[in-house]
Structure 1
Amino acid sequence: MDVLAGLDACTTMEPDEGRVAAARDRLVTPEEATQLADLFRLLGDPTRAQLLYALLEAGELCVCDLTETVEVSDTAVSHALRLLRTAGIVASRRAGRMIYYRLADVHVRMLLDLSREHLRHG
């Protein structure tokens, strides 16, 4: 038997039907799984992650503030913000000719806070 394969293998080939049923009852739907994967893929870009944490810390910033903060081009910032806004992760408001961006809601803040805490924990 392959030693490495044995590390993740069951010692018995009989699943615990009660646990399987309970897990299936709480399992995300295939549609939800796709949406979650898309969300994590969107958050998985280092530039977008830095932009989100800049907004988390500052509350609200315009493109030029974000460009300076994360040290990437205004084109890259604008593109990233467009993706994040379309996904409902950031929101914007217009003040004259300026557009200011902020995290869309408390859930995004919680996700970012928990993610950072997880990194610090490990």
Structure 2
Amino acid sequence: MDMCEITCVDEEKVTRVQNKLAEENPLDVAKFFKVLSDPTRVKIAYALAFEDELCVCDVANIVGSTTATASHHLRNLRELGLAKSRKEGKLVFYSLDDDHVRKLIEVAFAHQKEVAKVE
């Protein structure tokens, strides 16, 4: 039921998509989603989508972790371009890298709410 019973390839569509994929970098996109495969990092990303900026201590309290653990997760988000940081005195503040990341997080949560209603 989940696969075609006959083989029928639309060469034009296949070529068009293959050419487009050759211009892009699916590996980088996969890394982006992989970093969000951890529930704690998703919570952090959501918190940063909800609040424009949070310090590491705030993030740790929101997700119920130590500051060291929160810092580790935030560093992962920053290294993959999802978040950015700035230091102010002895505090380090994080925010999402840009509006694209915020929209992805918001869309993911909105989609999950829709899926939950169907189930």
Pick the TM interval, shorter chain.
Answer: 0.7 to 0.9
Flag structure 1 segments of 5+ consecutive residues without an equivalent.
1-6
TM-score for the superposition, normalised by structure 1: 0.84
**RMSD (CA atoms):** 1.8
Following the alignment from structure 2 to structure 1, what is the Cα–Cα distance between the partners of residues 51 and 10? Answer: 49
Following the alignment from structure 1 to structure 2, what is the Cα–Cα distance between the partners of residues 86 and 21? Answer: 34
Alignment of 1:1-122 (within 5 A): 7-26=1-20, 28-29=21-22, 32-122=25-115
> Per-residue deviation at 1:31?
6.7
Deviations 1:60-117 (A, max 9, x none): 1111111111111111101111111111111111212211111110110011011111
Count of residue pairs brought into register by the alignment: 115
Deviations 1:16-48 (A, max 9, x none): 22332333343x239712111111110110111
Following the alignment from structure 2 to structure 1, what is the Cα–Cα distance between the partners of residues 55 and 8? Answer: 57
Identical aligned residues as a percent? 36
Flag structure 2 segments of 5+ consecutive residues without an equivalent.
none
Task: Give 1 or 2 for the bigger CA radius of gyration.
Answer: 1
